[in-house]
Structure 1
């Protein structure tokens, strides 16, 4: 499936808009990652344990969004974006969303 942050797909014509699709997850750090990350936070700089939690959450939200797109019969997703919000202390909601479309090759 084609996934893009743009509003069109090179060489393809959008023939139908199927609507918004999304994937949403709420993640928190494990006790071990939270403890180690907390210790590293004292020194400042990048905190790999927290970055790993964020990346896992983004990937999971992305995968759920793709599954939703397959369910509606999409050929591609356009205008794809991520949004993240702290749900409660230590827990973050990650939302991946985009517009599902049907495509046809350009005639020209």
Structure 2
């Protein structure tokens, strides 16, 4: 499955268009990560616990989007985007979405 943030794939032709597919996950802060992040806020720097949490969430959302595209017969998802929103204090949704297509020569 080809995943691209471009609207077209150079050298490929869209043979079939299925429309929007999406995958999402809601992740919450972990007490241990939250505690360590509050300590890190005192001295500055990257909050690696949160970075890892967001990386995992993006991967889950992409996997779910890809599964949806495969289920309808697509071999590619183009124009892929991510969106995030706060669900509640301490929980956020990551959404991956794009256009499911069948590309020639795949």
Q: Same fold (TM over 0.5)?
A: yes
Backbone CA RMSD of aligned residues: 1.0
Residues 15-62 of structure 1, C-alpha deviations (whole Å, 9 max, x = no match): 111010000100012111111112112322211011111111111111
Give the alignment of 1:3-42 within 5 angstroms.
3-42=3-42
CA distance in 2, matches of 1:50, 1:56: 10
Where in structure 1 are there 5+ consecutive unaligned residues? none
Give the whole-Å Cα distance in 2 for the aligned partners of 1:80 and 1:13: 17
In structure 2, how many angstroms separate the alpha carbons of the residues matched to 1:34 and 1:61?
A: 22
Q: Residues of 1 paired with 2:41 and 2:18: CA distance?
A: 44
1:61 is aligned to 2:61: yes
1:43 and 2:26 aligned: no
TM-score by length of 2: 0.93
Runs of 4+ residues deviating >3 angstroms: none
C-alpha distance in 2 between matches for 1:18 and 1:26: 26
**Counterpart Cα distance in 2 of 1:38 and 1:64:** 32
Question: 5+ residue gaps in structure 2?
Answer: none
Normalised by the length of structure 1, the TM-score is 0.91
